[in-house]
């Protein structure tokens, strides 16, 4: 995942965006305004800085700002590095963000959009789940019939589709999909209980025993035979699978111990992360070579993290990275029930619905305002949320009323 302030990471991705720009056409403004209204039953928020090509004034927020334009009760929020998405109870999807490459999925490329616009699925398609997170500058969704859909930038075939830009959702050639996730230039799916990936295989991100790329889904190898996958997650050049028995496996990039296996060498097949209990919920994050961390809640309620930590994103009071899980210093009397990992920051929601976060705040991604750069332990944001999602420095969440 690409953080806007990381020059090295921006140069690394420059060629990808240059190629896509040749195919991009001038679009119409799909919406404007941001904090005008909330939807019946829910309120959606945005903060931080979306994108990888510098800050965009219309989208930059250092504190949570209400998103207008959504019609319906929100049931899920998901983010990419540059855009955010809300799924409603009726199966419609709404999007806001940069839309440089058609990520809004409504047939255009647009100026920055702060007011949500509806994604244009074919008639009769009802979406049941969003991928979380999303591939960079693209999006994935699963409909009620188990069909996967992708749209936006597909420069590395990370949407498993043939086109460079998909301005509207297009069906992916993989059926019976129940889970999806993606980051940077790869995507991962669960289909009929088996895990598949497509896109760039750099650093072993596809988990198929190689570093080759693939424009079509390839099977992830090395997960226990017969295991049922309960959740998928992904980050810059890696992914992970949480099994129904609470075991967690991950693969890909590992320079700062992102795999949590006690080493710093990449792995092109899944490795088992050893934790002091079964995992209940887990989230990978990371937006480039200089960050990347995973946070997990165990069945007993304790919270653990591993990987990069130069901005305190492991939440243990230090800025030393760790290639094995370390315990997050959750405040006394607080119990986290949901966690999410972004670029240089992590997020949690406690049992009372309060939002907590920690890590770097160079792009306002902690939502606390001010110029604070590092928060190495969880801090109460002062907002109640049902769910939060972050990719790079782009953050979104929603609260049910």
Confidence band for 370, pLDDT divided at 50, 70 and 90: confident
Would you say how long the chain is, in residues?
401
pLDDT at 4 over 60: no
The predicted model scores a pTM of: 0.90
pLDDT tens per residue across span 336-352: 999 999 999 999 999 99
Q: What percent of the chain has pLDDT over 70?
A: 89
Pairwise CA distance, residues 105 & 99, whole Å: 9
Residue 6 has pLDDT above 50, yes or no: no
pLDDT for position 29? 26
Distance between CA atoms of 114 and 280, rounded to whole angstroms?
A: 34
Average pLDDT for residues 255-281, to the nearest whole number?
Answer: 98
DSSP string, 229-279: EEEEEEETTEEEEEETTS-EEEEE--TTSTT-SS--S-EEEEEEEP-SS-E
> What domains can be seen in the chain, in order of their start residue?
7-400 (2.130.10.30)
- 30, pLDDT greater than 90: no
Kindly indicate the confidence band of residue 54, based on its pLDDT and cuts at 50, 70 and 90: low
pLDDT band at 40 (very low <50, low <70, confident <90, very high): low
Residue 90 confidence class, pLDDT cut points 50, 70, 90: very high
Backbone angles phi, psi at 17, to 5 degrees: -70, -30
Q: What is the pLDDT of residues 143-183, one digit of tens each?
A: 999 999 999 999 999 999 999 999 999 999 999 999 999 99
- Decide: residue 401, CB within 10 A, 0-12 exposed, 13-18 middle, 19+ buried: exposed
25 SS3 class: coil
| Whole-angstrom distance, CA of residue 259 vs CA of residue 245 | 19
pLDDT band at 13; cut points 50, 70, 90? very low
The whole-number pLDDT of residue 36 equals: 38
Do the Cβ atoms of 251 and 239 come closer than 8 Å?
Answer: yes
Residue 117, SS3 per DSSP? strand
Edge-to-edge strand list for the sheet holding 229-235: 229-235, 238-243, 248-252, 267-273
Residue 32: what pLDDT? Answer: 33
Question: For 331, phi and psi rounded to 5 degrees?
Answer: -55, 145
Please give the mean pLDDT across all residues of the chain.
Answer: 90
Q: pLDDT at residue 62 above 90?
A: yes
CA distances to 169, 209, 253, 355 from 1, rounded to whole Å, are: 22, 22, 12, 23
pLDDT at 378: 98
Res 52: pLDDT:
63
pLDDT the model gives residue 57? 79
Please tell me whether the peptide bond between 20 and the residue prior to it is cis, using omega within 30 degrees of 0. no
Is residue 19 predicted with pLDDT exceeding 70? no
């Amino acid at each position: 995942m690409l953080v806007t302030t990381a020059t090295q990471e921006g140069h690394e991705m420059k060629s990808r965006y240059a190629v896509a720009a040749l195919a991009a056409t001038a679009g119409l403004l799909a919406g404007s305004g941001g904090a005008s209204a909330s939807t019946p039953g829910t309120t959606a928020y945005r903060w931080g800085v979306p994108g990888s090509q510098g800050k965009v004034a219309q989208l930059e927020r250092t504190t949570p700002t209400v998103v207008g334009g959504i019609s319906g009760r929100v049931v899920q929020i998901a983010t990419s590095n540059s855009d955010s998405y809300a799924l409603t109870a009726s199966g419609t999807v709404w999007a806001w963000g940069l839309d440089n490459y058609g990520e809004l999925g409504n047939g255009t490329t647009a100026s920055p959009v702060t007011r949500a616009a509806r994604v244009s699925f074919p008639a009769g398609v009802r979406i049941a789940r969003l991928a979380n997170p999303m591939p960079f500058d693209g999006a994935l969704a699963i409909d009620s019939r188990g069909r996967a859909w992708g749209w936006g930038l597909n420069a590395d075939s990370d949407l498993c589709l043939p086109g460079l830009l998909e301005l509207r959702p297009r069906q992916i050639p993989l059926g019976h999909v129940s889970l999806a996730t993606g980051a940077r230039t790869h995507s991962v799916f669960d289909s009929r209980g088996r895990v598949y990936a497509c896109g760039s295989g750099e650093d072993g991100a596809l988990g198929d025993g190689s570093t080759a790329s693939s424009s079509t889904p390839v099977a992830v190898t090395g997960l226990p035979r017969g295991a049922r996958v309960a959740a998928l997650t992904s980050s810059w050049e890696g992914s992970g699978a949480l099994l129904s028995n609470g075991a967690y496996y991950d693969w890909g990039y590992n320079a700062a111990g992102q795999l949590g296996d006690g080493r710093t060498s990449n792995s092109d097949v899944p490795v088992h992360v050893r934790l002091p209990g079964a995992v209940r919920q887990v989230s990978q994050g990371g937006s480039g070579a200089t960050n990347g961390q995973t946070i997990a809640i165990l069945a007993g309620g304790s919270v653990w993290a591993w990987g990069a930590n130069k901005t305190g994103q492991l939440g243990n009071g230090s800025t030393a990275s760790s290639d094995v899980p370390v315990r997050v210093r959750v405040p006394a009397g607080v119990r986290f029930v949901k966690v999410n990992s972004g670029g240089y920051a992590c997020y949690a929601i406690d049992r009372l619905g309060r939002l907590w976060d920690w890590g770097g705040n160079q792009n306002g991604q902690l939502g606390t305002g001010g110029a604070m750069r590092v928060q190495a332990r969880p801090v109460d944001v002062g907002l109640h949320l049902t769910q939060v999602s972050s990719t790079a420095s782009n953050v979104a969440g929603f609260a049910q009323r």
